[in-house]
């Protein structure tokens, strides 16, 4: 039978613990260790009406491009450290280098370079939502064009 349960002291301690937990969580969020980058290499063409079932998740985005056929050529994921970079081999002898720069407001800043052998084709800096993506396309490939879906999520 505790009449005066000393809730203020318990409340104080519990509040401090809860605040600490919030601080740890927020800090953890602000400084994720790595970025998981995923590159989907897709062949878009008008040679058929085929839509690769593996691209179901990207269908709405790909339909924007108004091609009749989409086929997944390669799907690759790599863990990339902040301020580091990784190179993804793209069909057709091309390469895509991705370098995560910063993480702010739940958005990831990426530096991306597309090269054709030693020749740079495109350099861009893009800021995407965490778990979001953008589309990079255009290089010709096997009677169609190469479309890359570049997505990133913090780890």
Partner 1 sequence: MNGCEDKIPSIERWLDGELSGAENDSLRSHVAVCAECSEAQRRLEKLQSTLKAALLSEAQRVDFAPFWRAVQLRVNEKRPWYQEALDSMRRALPAPRVAWVVPAVIVLLLAVVSLESYLPGWRGAGRNAFATVESIDAYGRNVALLREYDTKTTVIWLYQDQEGENEAAEETAPSGPAF
Partner 2 sequence: MELTDWELVQQCQAGEMSAFQELVSRYQQKVYMVILGMLRNREDALEVAQETFFRAYRKISGFQGGSSFYTWIYRIAVNLAIDAQRRQKRNPLDFRETMDDLLESQDEAARDPFADLHDKELREKLVSAINDLTPEHKAVIVLRTIEGLSYKDIGEILGCSEGTVMSRLHYARKKLQDKLSAFL
In angstroms, give the least distance from the CB of 83 to partner 1: 17
- Residue appearing with tokens 């799907």: 75
67's contact among partner 1, partner 2, none, with CB below 5 to 8 A by partner kind, is partner 1
- Helix/strand/coil for 85: coil
Which among partner 1, partner 2, none contacts residue 93 (Cβ within 5 to 8 A by kind)?
Answer: none
Min dist. Cβ of residue 132 to partner 1 (A): 6
Question: Are 91 and 71 within 8 A, CB to CB?
Answer: no
Count how many Cα atoms sit within 13 Å of the Cα of residue 97 in the half-sphere of its side chain: 17
# binding residues, partner 2 (CB under 8 A) = 4
Q: Which of residues 3-32 bind partner 2 (CB under 8 A)?
A: 3-4
- Per-residue H/E/C for 9-52: HHHHHHHHHHHHHHHHHHHHHHCCCEEEEEEEEEEEECCCCCEC
Indicate which of partner 2, partner 1, none lies near residue 1 (CB less than 5 to 8 Å, by partner kind): partner 2
> Quick one: 5 or 119, whose CB is closer to partner 2?
5
């Amino acid at each position: 039978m505790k009449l005066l349960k000393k809730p203020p002291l318990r409340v104080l301690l519990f509040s401090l613990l809860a605040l600490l937990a919030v601080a740890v969580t927020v800090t953890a969020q602000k400084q994720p260790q790595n970025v998981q980058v995923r590159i989907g290499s897709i062949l878009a063409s008008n040679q058929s009406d085929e839509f690769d079932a593996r691209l179901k998740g990207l269908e709405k985005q790909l339909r924007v491009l108004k091609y009749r056929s989409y086929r997944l050529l390669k799907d690759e994921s790599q863990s990339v450290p902040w301020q580091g970079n990784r190179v993804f081999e793209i069909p057709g002898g091309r390469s895509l280098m991705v370098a995560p720069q910063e993480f702010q407001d739940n958005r990831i800043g990426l530096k991306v370079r597309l090269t054709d052998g030693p020749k740079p084709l495109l350099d861009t800096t893009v800021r995407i939502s965490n778990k979001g993506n953008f589309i990079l396309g255009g290089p010709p490939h096997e009677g169609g064009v190469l479309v890359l879906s570049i997505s990133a999520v913090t780890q």
